[in-house]
Amino acid sequence: MTIDLNDLFYILQRNSNHSESKTIIKIRRIKHLIYLSTSLLVLFLLIPLLICMRLFVKPIVTPKVFVHSLSRDQILRNGNTDQLFQFLKEGRFQYSLNKKDYLVAFKGNLKSDRNGIRVTKSFALFIFFRCFNRKEIINFLCAYFRTVIATVESKSVSALKSANLVNVLFEYSIWRLIRFDDESFFITTQSSMSNLPTIFYIDKIKINRHMIWYSTNSKPIYRKNEKLYKIPYAEELDRFVDLHLVWDSTEVEFLRDNQIEGTQVLGSMVFQEKIIHSKSHERFVTTIFDVTPHIDLQGFYSEANTIRSFKLLLECISRCQDQFGDSVLFRIKPKRAYYRTHSKLYIEKIKIAAAQGKIILLNSNSNLYGVISESDLAIAVPFTSPAVIAKEMGTPSVYLAVELDEWEIPKESNGVPVIFTLNDLEKYIQKMIKEKLSSINN
């Protein structure tokens, strides 16, 4: 294995802390030398044992599809990895139809399902312990040793400043030894846009590098007259990602505005089964898809903006309930489960409204497609995904940006209109309620 120091040092530079003092760098260098020496010693002691084990335990076939940067909610909505597999094997994707071809990296405590997709905390460790045969184990030791020596001899400043040098060198050596083919894929999401997986930066590895954009709210919202910036690391996303899988033409345009090419439109992608329920024949159901603000979050999704929007929405809900009574139902679905970093004040207002019968508070894990299919109207925060899913499913949807005049918000996005005033919101909802109730009575 030839060592491409340009690739390697680019990766190390991305993991560097450029603001460290010379003293800290010297200390880190000593730590790195200790860690590297220790890692080599451990490998020299461990590898004979692994080679002996291979006499009794055969290695498994190296996976073809690696899935990275998914959250626990995205992987385990139904308690196992089946739903993730069902999503990835849909005909619109190019991925394998065999569960055993998949390996998912997940940081939490999750054991692999015997009959499902394999799960690991580290791709590199999984491949090293489970997939390499005796010859590959020896080749890895030689490759890792050469990589360590080349890095130390180079006296690279990037290497000295890198926060996780050993991990990078270990991963680099693993990936360079594997023979990939046209059916090999490494899938990540926009959650990793600021720090792509190591394998993305290694040019000579022939694997399909895909990024799934699993939501539509990566588009930044600026204050009026505020300078518009590119999304972070746009140049890297264009250079190192072979294909960006996005929802619709609006997302393609957004990426191209940031000089990111290589896109494919595939519709909504939220790693959930497309469950369809019947709509009510008696009531008009409005579902609000909210984004719970974090305590110290600034910008458009701040606590102050979110609470103000919810108060105004409650005014509209109260007037609709006064006028139409039990013929209307308002529900709210949180994007995620409530955590301690979320605004306690906002959550309290949500729970009070639910206790007063103003709204029904849904479980955050409720299936998006199922919730939307039951709804006559979907209301969402700009520019979150449920509104786009509703449009895709033929359910009317709107973005709500009432009394947020200081923000630069277009009149529509992804084909979904934006409502800017409380009066317009009331007129819109009341018109739709009257139309449905009229059709019920007739």
DSSP string, 141-169: HHHHHHHHHHHHHHT-HHHHHBTTHHHHH
pLDDT at 23: 67
In the chain, where the domains are located = 5-265, 284-441
Residue 160 has pLDDT above 80, yes or no: no
Percent of all residues in the chain with a pLDDT value above 70, rounded to a whole number: 90
Quickly tell me which residue has 């015997």 as its tokens. Answer: 114
Nearest-Å Rg of the Cα atoms of the chain is: 26
pLDDT at 71: 76
Q: Which residue has the higher pLDDT, 75 or 372?
A: 372
pLDDT at 4: 64
Task: Quickly state the pLDDT bin for 60 (edges 50, 70, 90).
Answer: very high
Q: pLDDT tens across 5-32, in order?
A: 678 878 877 766 555 566 666 676 777 7
Residue 217 has pLDDT above 80, yes or no: yes
Q: Which amino acid is at 27?
A: I
pLDDT at 68: 92
Q: d(Cα 132, Cα 129) in Å, to the nearest integer?
A: 7
- Determine the average pLDDT of the residues in 404-412: 92
Q: Which residue has the higher pLDDT, 440 or 315?
A: 315
- Determine the average pLDDT of the residues in 398-425: 94
pLDDT at 306: 94
Token pair of 156 as six digits: 């690279």
Q: d(Cα 399, Cα 382) in Å, to the nearest integer?
A: 5
Token pair of 240 as six digits: 């190192």
Q: Which residue has the higher pLDDT, 21 or 70?
A: 70
User: What CA dihedral angle connects 211, 8, 44 and 153, to 10 degrees?
Assistant: -170
Contacts of 325 (CB under 8 A, 6+ apart): none
Task: Quickly state the pLDDT bin for 159 (edges 50, 70, 90).
Answer: low
Q: d(Cα 234, Cα 278) in Å, to the nearest integer?
A: 42
- For the chain, the average pLDDT equals 88
H or E segment and range at residue 187: strand 185-189
- Strand 360-361 and strand 377-380: the pairing is unpaired
Q: pLDDT tens across 266-298, in order?
A: 999 988 888 999 999 999 999 999 999 998 888
Written in H, E and C, the secondary structure of 275-334 is CCCCCCCCCEEEEEEECCCECCCCCCCCHHHHHHHHHHHHHHHHHHHHHHHHHEEEEEEE
Give the angle 336-118-91 at the CA atoms, nearest 5°: 75
Task: Quickly state the pLDDT bin for 413 (edges 50, 70, 90).
Answer: very high
pTM (two decimals): 0.89
Q: pLDDT tens across 231-250, in order?
A: 778 999 999 999 999 999 99
Q: Which residue has the higher pLDDT, 6 or 140?
A: 140
Q: pLDDT tens across 81-133, in order?
A: 788 888 899 999 989 989 889 999 877 666 555 557 888 989 999 999 999 99
pLDDT at 220: 87
Lowest mean pLDDT among 76-80, 123-127, 332-336, 424-428: 76-80
Using an 8 Å Cβ cutoff, are 116 and 85 in contact? yes
* Sheet strands side by side (includes 65-67): 118-120, 102-105, 65-67, 185-189, 208-212, 243-246, 263-265
Residue 61 has pLDDT above 80, yes or no: yes
H or E segment and range at residue 210: strand 208-212
CB neighbours (10 Å) of residue 28? 19
pLDDT at 1: 57
pLDDT at 264: 97
What CATH number is given for 284-441 in this structure?
A: 3.40.50.720
pLDDT at 203: 84
pLDDT at 150: 83
Lowest mean pLDDT among 182-191, 224-233, 302-311, 339-348: 224-233
